[in-house]
Structure 1
């Protein structure tokens, strides 16, 4: 069929609605996966005979490749075609999901989860980029709002679907369900989504940087995970090797003429400060979301469905309040909300110390997750606006991508090191008493990280000077709890292909 020659679609036209359907379903594939996998961890571990480190790697293998490659994937879309890279990611994700469903051992599952993360990295930046390049300017913000709203609904439904599948047909179905969804995205996108490229995109790709950051994060994560058995010489050497690779990545980015992580971004103190807050806060959230659903099932006796749905208030509050929070930050500046939000969230996490055997959802779990959700709703919109305001217009897309990668890296490292610090290892997740004691220690550490995030914001985030133009507010924010929303690519005009 004929494709629009440029960003000419409107929200009321059938072609425009089909673009929204494709991008919502595509982003939901990656966004929902983290939630449902966390719900399934205890069943996976028992069925595959895995120790706790196997559960850690089931989550971290996916996050590792996603965090390491998401910036490079955005550049690939600008250069080779956003629809093309998006579709490659969708197909890749579906194929890896099928392999996850068929995995006979925990080792195989971890390996194909890493492949699944590659697919997620390819498709995640493409959703908003396709909307930005397809719709006329007057409808672009509305389209992004619709996309964000439906993405939030998908995130809210995920725990129910995941819990039902884990308790019913089995955990392998949480991966199999991705296949028909991906097939629908491919059919819709090929028929209705116009291709687009950035004609001024750099033709050189930072492959060396991508390899170094993936190796550095992977080796460091492996070392931190192994520390649960003790800080042996081999663990220390691996940790040092990972740090050396990450230093090499930074030096490479400083020398490269086409870095995927431009060092000039960090010359802005506001940008650096916002990312330090991001790292601390999302490290805490990574630990909470990973351990809470396991604790609710192993210690409190919740079903997978109820354990997964326990975090629904967090998603609902972010969806309902983030836009209002962004509007308030536009009027008063971001510092107060970026300071108070993590502190409110920390209070919610401290309330989780009360959770134990036979905890009641309404009186013990709900108040804790409600406070956590309120804290995030207060913080996330100002955080995103601060990151975007600290970068030049031409760097808005990459700045937002860096912030998302920092958040995922924080969660990655937290899931690796928290169990070691809390004394959770081996088969502890099958022993309610042992796991509960470690869970309490881990939640105390997570609350401390949130307090650190609030303190960093109080000391380093600046409100705009009087008379300065405030950052433009965003009407909607996505509810992917793995990281802040990725802003649509900002830069030169795009061209559409007749394909």
Structure 2
């Protein structure tokens, strides 16, 4: 569960090595063709949050299974994103993009037809694989389809649509679940895909990038390593943190991740070029983005259910009440984007993460002190939302600021992957805190676990704010 902040890829902004002759289509048509599938994939990051209490009842799902309904999508998305970009370079970006849309739609049908928690988890993993092909390629295809003079405007609109998907996810999910059924949140994707595929083929020209082999060994090591770590954290409270299964899973995950790093340092075609992390602005931006995702989206997972389980709101009412948090970035992010060239990204990132930490701490303290009304949470939600808006654009700028042009596409994909992995780890870690603190899925027991979980999330985000102090002062600042 994660929010995807737009990070323009430099390869998107330069002429491609091979690009099909585009039809003469308007910028608006190209924008719709690229943005609608991306909106669909972004929406499904958070559309399930307000449906979780209903899924718990309808599918007799445990808390662990609810986590996997979210994390199966996120881990699949994160693990396959860079591979999908590489396949797009080799086989054709539009071809892989259309394939991703098709897979996403088929997986949505499977999700809607699921009659058990296990079936829904498997379908969500397939959805994540489809989204992995949609997100990194939509911007690349859009940039190639619009005239250079309108490219910056088009990318700005693309980013706004991405933010809209984040903001409306809980609201649309709540409205559909309450007004129709939980299955309908997945059926909605099908007509969107049916319209999107021919529109993409009409409006977006085919293009190719550098042809290079996919590091399948590295892909397997990284994916299985992260999966083992997340699985172990999720099982920690039930099996015991010193149990053989949990300790063995953590050790296996750590060993696989270490093997992945060794592999990437030696192969000629690494999935993640480790040399990128020698650039300080890139390393700091990714470390702070990981902390942000762990703290914020782990808290979103538990808070979204609190509004229904403990405060008694309907799914739609709960979704609407997340808007001070999820919609604020749409207003604040453009302002941060304008300020970054003047101030540099470091003060904006530090301030944004500090405000998010304060917002999460406010929520945790309010719940822990016995808050019984939504109004007591609003200041914390607003602080977190403003801070999130200050973080998005500067973080994207920092990732790309000191990269060579040929590396910027890869750098953007690596950053998006790290954020997605952070979201999955965050859900696992904060639910573990929730459970260990005595939290239960009951009106009286939910606050017992939510308060410490939100405070742990706040501490992790605050650590991310401290990390940003290592960012070079000049990063992102335009010199006169």
Q: 1:160 to 1:234 in 2, by over 3 A?
A: closer
- The yes-or-no answer on 1:219 pairing with 2:232 is no
Q: 1:307 to 1:258 in 2, by over 3 A?
A: same
Distance of 1:471 and 1:132 partners within structure 2: 23
Residue number among 328, 331, 335 corresponding to 2:342 in the alignment: 331
Q: 1:420 to 1:149 in 2, by over 3 A?
A: closer
1:346 is displaced (CA, Å) by 1.3
Root-mean-square deviation (Å): 2.1
Q: 1:150 to 1:272 in 2, by over 3 A?
A: closer
Residue number among 350, 372, 377 corresponding to 1:365 in the alignment: 377
Distance of 2:390 and 2:271 partners within structure 1: 30
Deviations 1:72-109 (A, max 9, x none): 11111111111100100000001011111111111111
- The yes-or-no answer on 1:321 pairing with 2:332 is yes
- The yes-or-no answer on 1:343 pairing with 2:354 is yes
Segments of 5+ residues of structure 1 without an aligned counterpart are: 473-499
The residue number in structure 2 matching 1:417 is 429
The residue number in structure 1 matching 2:256 is 245
Write the mapping of 1:114-125 to structure 2, written as runs, cut at 5 A: 114-125=125-136
Deviations 1:421-473 (A, max 9, x none): 232699922x1222211111100101101111111112x111118xxx8369x
- The yes-or-no answer on 1:34 pairing with 2:45 is yes
Partner SS, residue 207 of structure 2: strand
Residue number among 310, 318, 322 corresponding to 1:307 in the alignment: 318
Partner SS, residue 428 of structure 1: coil
Q: 1:7 to 1:345 in 2, by over 3 A?
A: farther
Partner SS, residue 54 of structure 2: helix
Q: 1:31 to 1:257 in 2, by over 3 A?
A: same
Number of aligned residues: 458
- TM-score normalised to structure 1 length: 0.87
Write the mapping of 1:85-164 to structure 2, written as runs, cut at 5 A: 85-164=96-175
The residue number in structure 2 matching 1:403 is 415
- The yes-or-no answer on 1:462 pairing with 2:469 is no
Q: 1:351 to 1:425 in 2, by over 3 A?
A: closer
Distance of 2:327 and 2:176 partners within structure 1: 22
- TM-score normalised to structure 2 length: 0.91
Q: Is the 8 A contact 2:350 2:465 kept in 1?
A: yes
Q: 1:8 to 1:130 in 2, by over 3 A?
A: same
Deviations 1:172-225 (A, max 9, x none): 111111111111111211233221112xx1331111111111111111111111
Distance of 2:190 and 2:332 partners within structure 1: 33
Distance of 1:370 and 1:308 partners within structure 2: 15
Segments of 5+ residues of structure 2 without an aligned counterpart are: 1-17
Deviations 1:296-323 (A, max 9, x none): 1101111111211222233432122212
1:380 is displaced (CA, Å) by 2.1
Residue number among 45, 49, 71 corresponding to 1:60 in the alignment: 71
